């Protein structure tokens, strides 16, 4: 079986849904499973619903906007009496019903129950359209197969139970399902973290012993840098799992960090291709590929540089580090880079849930703490040391770290 993942940009409107069918024509629509993200900016729109709910504001208007957008997309794909309209309406009714009856103060729990609606609706529309044009498939609910703990918004996979559930899927059929979501022991919806649809595809590929996995993007493949941010970029046609894991760790947005480990464990070839040019080769990631020696640039924006120092000028010791890391885990703030001296610790942090000020207040009880917000972290792999001066021009360097041929620089 082959696993294909289509992200939000690839199903953002009716024409994009039709284009998925064109992509499948080039690949062959047999024995495959499609993992689909929410359409376009739907996740952001549903996040506004959750924010309005907790602010005790009008969330129903926001739900209606999202519903109307999807129904308008359907009008360009289906006849007026198609069952998909009722299916979509049911998903949004369930969201409203949940919000009316829930008493939960847990933001993350409510978030997962609401935001997951985006994937349910997009996958239902794509599945119905493919069946309409004779690409026969079965729509399935990923929550029945991907089982997790109750760590809402970033759940951990119960691999044994997930593999057992997926053994029920027929490898000789075609399926359309959702990315980003699973369910816990109480059958509540959980999400796997932002951009988690890639990870979902890898979970299905691993459990189904897939022949290949392909992620369809609006770029030609894995590039030496983001073409929207850098000039003179080129395509990396073949890279090793190790290269891909390292690039994902440093923040390459084209690959989700958790995606690669399940694929590497079973040596499942992994492709990144363009849904705008599906016949092009894209990038192949595999065990047999050599480590890349090409210089590549990775940019992580919206980072925060935090400097933590002891108040009595004593050394930053193990007990201090354990305290700091415990607070970071509590607020789900991730470290992108770390550098320490005798009496201070510099951390470049990614604050996905808006908790950086809470962290600062917590740490200031025992440490002197400073933050520079909204900095950028550049990582240069296989750096050409002779040409670095050009890169450093017109940049204010806040911190620099060099390890072999990898250079990391924080600027603002």
- pLDDT reading at 23 higher than 80: yes
Residue 204, marked binder: no
- pLDDT reading at 47 higher than 90: yes
Q: What is the pLDDT of residues 241-270, one digit of tens each?
A: 989 988 988 988 778 778 999 999 999 999
Residue 65, marked binder: no
- Three-state DSSP at 227 gives coil
Residue 286, marked binder: no
Strand locations in 205-247 (E): 212-217, 238-240
User: In this prediction, what percent of the chain has a pLDDT beyond 70?
Assistant: 100
Residue 7, marked binder: yes
- pLDDT reading at 144 higher than 90: yes
Indicate the pLDDT class of residue 33, thresholds 50, 70 and 90. Answer: very high
Residues 407 and 296: their CA atoms lie apart, in Å, by 11
- pLDDT reading at 386 higher than 90: no
The gap between the terminal CA atoms of the chain, to the nearest Å, is 46
Q: What is the pLDDT of residues 100-129, one digit of tens each?
A: 999 999 999 999 999 999 999 999 999 999
pLDDT of residue 397: 93
Residue 135, marked binder: no
C-beta separation of 119 from 86 below 8 A: no
pLDDT of residue 70: 98
Give pTM, 2 decimals.
0.90
> How many C-alpha atoms does 314 have within 13 Å on its Cβ side?
8
pLDDT of residue 6: 97
pLDDT of residue 257: 74
Query: Taken in order 355, 361, 364, 370, is the CA torsion positive or negative?
Result: positive
Which domains are assigned to the chain? 2-217 (3.40.1160.10), 296-411 (3.30.2130.10)
Indicate the pLDDT class of residue 293, thresholds 50, 70 and 90. Answer: confident
Q: What is the mean pLDDT of residues 29-45?
A: 95
pLDDT of residue 350: 95
- pLDDT reading at 87 higher than 90: yes
- pLDDT reading at 32 higher than 80: yes
Residue 68, marked binder: no
The encoded tokens of residue 73 equal 């997309």
pLDDT of residue 391: 85
Query: Taken in order 384, 387, 389, 394, is the CA torsion positive or negative?
Result: negative
Higher pLDDT, 44 or 258: 44
pLDDT of residue 334: 94
DSSP string, 156-185: PB-HHHHHHHHTTS-TTS-EEEESSEEE-T
The encoded tokens of residue 294 equal 């090409």
C-beta separation of 231 from 286 below 8 A: no
Indicate the pLDDT class of residue 204, thresholds 50, 70 and 90. Answer: very high
Indicate the pLDDT class of residue 314, thresholds 50, 70 and 90. Answer: confident
- pLDDT reading at 194 higher than 80: no
Higher pLDDT, 293 or 68: 68
Phi, psi (deg, nearest 5) at residue 40: 50, -120
Q: What is the pLDDT of residues 315-368, one digit of tens each?
A: 888 899 999 999 999 999 999 999 988 889 999 999 988 999 999 999 999 999
Of 37-41, 119-123, 274-278, 284-288, which range is least confident? 284-288
pLDDT of residue 258: 87
Task: Name the one residue in this structure whose structure tokens are 């305290």.
Answer: 323
Q: What is the mean pLDDT of residues 170-184?
A: 97
Q: What is the mean pLDDT of residues 62-70?
A: 97
Residue 119, marked binder: yes
């Amino acid at each position: 079986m082959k696993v294909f993942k289509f992200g939000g940009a690839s199903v953002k409107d009716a024409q994009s849904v039709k284009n998925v069918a064109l992509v499948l024509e080039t690949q062959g629509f047999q024995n495959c499973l499609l993992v689909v993200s929410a359409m376009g900016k739907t996740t952001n729109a549903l996040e506004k619903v959750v924010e309005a709910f907790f602010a005790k504001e009008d969330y129903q208007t926001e739900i209606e906007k999202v519903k109307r957008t999807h129904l308008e997309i359907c009008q360009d794909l289906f006849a007026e009496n198609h069952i998909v309209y009722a299916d979509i309406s049911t998903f949004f009714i369930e969201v409203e019903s949940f919000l009316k009856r829930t008493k939960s103060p847990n933001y993350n729990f409510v978030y997962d129950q609401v935001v997951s609606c985006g994937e349910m609706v997009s996958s239902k529309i794509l599945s119905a359209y493919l069946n309409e044009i004779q690409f026969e498939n079965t729509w399935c609910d990923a929550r029945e197969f991907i089982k997790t703990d109750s760590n809402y918004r970033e759940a951990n996979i119960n691999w044994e139970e997930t593999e057992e559930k997926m053994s029920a899927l027929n490898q000789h059929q075609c399926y359309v399902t959702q990315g980003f979501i699973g369910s816990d022991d109480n059958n509540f919806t959980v999400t796997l973290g932002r951009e988690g649809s890639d990870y979902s595809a890898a979970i299905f590929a691993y459990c189904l012993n897939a022949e290949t996995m392909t992620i369809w993007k609006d770029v030609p493949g894995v590039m030496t840098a983001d073409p929207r941010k850098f000039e003179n970029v080129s395509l990396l046609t073949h890279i090793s799992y190790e290269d891909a894991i390292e690039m994902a760790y440093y923040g390459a947005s084209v690959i989700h960090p958790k995606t690669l480990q399940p694929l590497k464990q079973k040596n499942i070839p992994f492709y990144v291709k363009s849904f705008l040019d599906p016949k092009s080769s894209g990038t192949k990631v595999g065990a047999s590929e050599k480590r890349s020696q090409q210089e590549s640039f990775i940019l992580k924006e919206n980072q925060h540089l935090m400097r933590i120092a002891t108040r009595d000028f004593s050394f930053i010791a193990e007990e201090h580090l354990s305290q700091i890391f415990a607070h970071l885990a509590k607020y789900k703030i991730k470290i992108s880079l770390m550098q320490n001296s005798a009496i201070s610790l510099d951390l470049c942090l990614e604050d996905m849930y808006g908790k950086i000020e809470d962290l600062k207040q917590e740490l200031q009880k025992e440490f002197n703490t400073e933050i520079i917000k909204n900095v950028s972290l550049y990582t240069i792999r296989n750096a050409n040391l002779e040409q670095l001066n050009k890169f450093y021009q017109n940049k204010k360097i806040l911190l620099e770290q060099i390890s072999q041929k990898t250079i990391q620089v924080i600027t603002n």
